Chain A
Amino acid sequence: MNSTNYDSCPECDLLLRSAHPKIGEKAHCPRCGFLLSRPRKQSVERTFALSIAGFILFFPANLLPMVGITILGNANTGILMSGVIALFNEGMVAVAIVVFLASILFPLVHISLSLLISGHLYFNRPNRYLVGWMRWMHHLDEWVMLEVYMLGIIVACVKLMAIAPLKFGWGLYAFIALIIITTMLTSGLDTELFWQRIEQLGKENNLAH
């Protein structure tokens, strides 16, 4: 029994013959329905391109004003970081840290890792940290909460529109574009392919020395 011909379902542990669905097709676990694999066209190239775009967009999304409001003559504009600082100043340190991690730091680290990994794979450059980066990215996935933050912005705006007029800035548009790109990034990343390419690069590197 060669273990590379076999695969097991991560949610029900059914032993399966490795499924190699064609691009655009999906392989589901016959027992529990888990989505086993969904190969994407040119996953490395696409991930590399989207990571560059996402990395660039991260800065306007964080630095330009997102929403402006005028209450009784007092104008106020908000960016991602100013919400964190406002919570911190009120003494809500734990909440401020959670918001900072889920909406600023983890998205930045996640997109940087995907840029590093896909860049190394795209240029066929081995690196002993690739495995570690891949594992980190896998663990961070769930804690990047940009889409949830977007929903928070919508609810906050609906509440605020009742008291004062709002103005939307370029930061908000950059943020929406960033969400679209990170969503395309995570759905287009073929994890199994990435792991195989990393393993292959490592082997080639060992042979060369």
Chain B
Amino acid sequence: MHTKANALAQGFIRCHDCGCLVKTVDHPSACPRCDSQLHPRRPHSLQRTTAFLFSSFFLYIPANIFPIMTVNQFGAGDPHTIAGGIIELIDSGMIPIGLLVLVASILVPSSKLIGITLLLLCAHFRWQINARRWTVMYRVIAFVGRWSMLDIFMISILVDLVNSGSVQIIAGPAATAFAAVVILTMFAAENFDPRLLWDNQQNL
């Protein structure tokens, strides 16, 4: 199952924390350099990634249908969803900022969910793929995830600053769901082990 060029096939385990290479013949349980637990691959990688992925799919629905914030002006409330906030930015001529929020709050989370699903399917069904290309996809997913927190930080600033008697901004239930989606997909990406993609390739 393991290709010959892989370190594991030749009797080495790489420490997750410090990157130290340890021989498996001695059956070590902890890394000699940093004392963290040694695992040939991330433990329960596919199960954990699946669990985090399913929870984020589930929370992605309330994150998009409930209002993420409400603008209260002279007693009248004006709720905004994530998409509504972007449309408003673009309508009022702030196109670059509108596109930035579109990328950070809609394109990144949704392509992350799809990307991690594909990676899981690929590792589970041992698809024969261009492993290099898929590893790059994993790398991009792991890198961009945190940028989706942009919307949450923006809301914390708006809620704080727009708080006079007559005009008020209040965070909505979608904010909690959206923050959870971002964090859960970050956990999902962190638990996925891209080396599983390479382990399954027969023609390397």
Which A residues are closer than 8 A to B by beta carbons? 1, 3-4, 6-15, 31-34, 67, 69, 71-72, 74, 76, 78, 82-87, 90, 92, 94-96, 98-99, 102-103, 131, 134-135, 138-139, 142-143, 145, 148-149, 151-156, 158-160, 162-163, 191-192, 195, 199
Stretch at the interface among B46-54, B110-118, B120-128, B134-142: B134-142
Contact B149 A145 (CB under 8 A): yes
Task: Beyond the given A6-B7, A31-B132, please list 13 additional residue pairs across the A-B interface where CB-CB is below 8 A.
Answer: A13-B198, A76-B163, A76-B164, A78-B160, A87-B171, A90-B159, A149-B153, A151-B147, A152-B151, A152-B152, A156-B154, A160-B162, A195-B34
Given contacts A135-B36, A158-B97, contact A99 B153 (CB under 8 A): yes
Cα A142 to Cα B147 in complex, Å, equals 11
Contact B195 A11 (CB under 8 A): yes
Contact B149 A87 (CB under 8 A): no
Query: Which of B22, B89, B161, B165 is the one whose CB lies under 8 Å from A160?
Result: B161
Contact A12 B171 (CB under 8 A): no
Residue in A closest to B189 when the chains form the complex, CB atoms = A142
B residues in contact with A191, CB < 8 Å: 18-19
Contact A3 B153 (CB under 8 A): no
- The smallest C-beta distance from B5 to any residue of chain A, in angstroms, reads 5
Contact B170 A90 (CB under 8 A): yes
B residues in contact with A8, CB < 8 Å: 6-7, 12, 14, 21
Cα A67 to Cα B154 in complex, Å, equals 13
For the complex, is B90 an interface residue (Cβ under 8 Å from A)? no
Given contacts A83-B157, A95-B171, A148-B147, contact A159 B89 (CB under 8 A): yes
Contact A33 B136 (CB under 8 A): yes
A residues in contact with B180, CB < 8 Å: 94
Contact A71 B162 (CB under 8 A): yes
B residues in contact with A76, CB < 8 Å: 160-164
Given contacts A13-B198, A76-B163, contact A160 B158 (CB under 8 A): yes
Contact A14 B6 (CB under 8 A): yes
Cα A94 to Cα B183 in complex, Å, equals 12
Cα A90 to Cα B159 in complex, Å, equals 9
Cα A72 to Cα B160 in complex, Å, equals 16
Contact A7 B34 (CB under 8 A): no
Given contacts A134-B34, A155-B154, contact A94 B146 (CB under 8 A): no
Cα A92 to Cα B166 in complex, Å, equals 21
Cα A94 to Cα B136 in complex, Å, equals 33
- The smallest C-beta distance from B130 to any residue of chain A, in angstroms, reads 11
Contact B161 A98 (CB under 8 A): no
Given contacts A3-B12, A14-B7, contact A155 B167 (CB under 8 A): no
Contact A94 B100 (CB under 8 A): no
Nearest first, the 9 A-B pairs at minimum CB distance are A152-B153, A8-B7, A74-B164, A83-B156, A86-B160, A156-B157, A15-B7, A152-B154, A83-B160
A residues in contact with B132, CB < 8 Å: 12, 31-33
Given contacts A74-B164, A145-B146, contact A92 B34 (CB under 8 A): no
B residues in contact with A90, CB < 8 Å: 159, 170-171
Cα A163 to Cα B71 in complex, Å, equals 12
B residues in contact with A103, CB < 8 Å: 153
Cα A152 to Cα B161 in complex, Å, equals 13
Contact B36 A95 (CB under 8 A): no
Interface string of B75-97 (1 = CB under 8 A from A): 00000000000000100101001
For the complex, is B202 an interface residue (Cβ under 8 Å from A)? no
Contact B150 A151 (CB under 8 A): yes
Contact B157 A152 (CB under 8 A): yes
- The smallest C-beta distance from A85 to any residue of chain B, in angstroms, reads 8
A residues in contact with B166, CB < 8 Å: 71-72
Query: Which of B5, B10, B100 is the one whose CB lies under 8 Å from A155?
Result: B100
Q: Which of B7, B97, B104, B179 has the most CB of A within 10 A?
A: B7
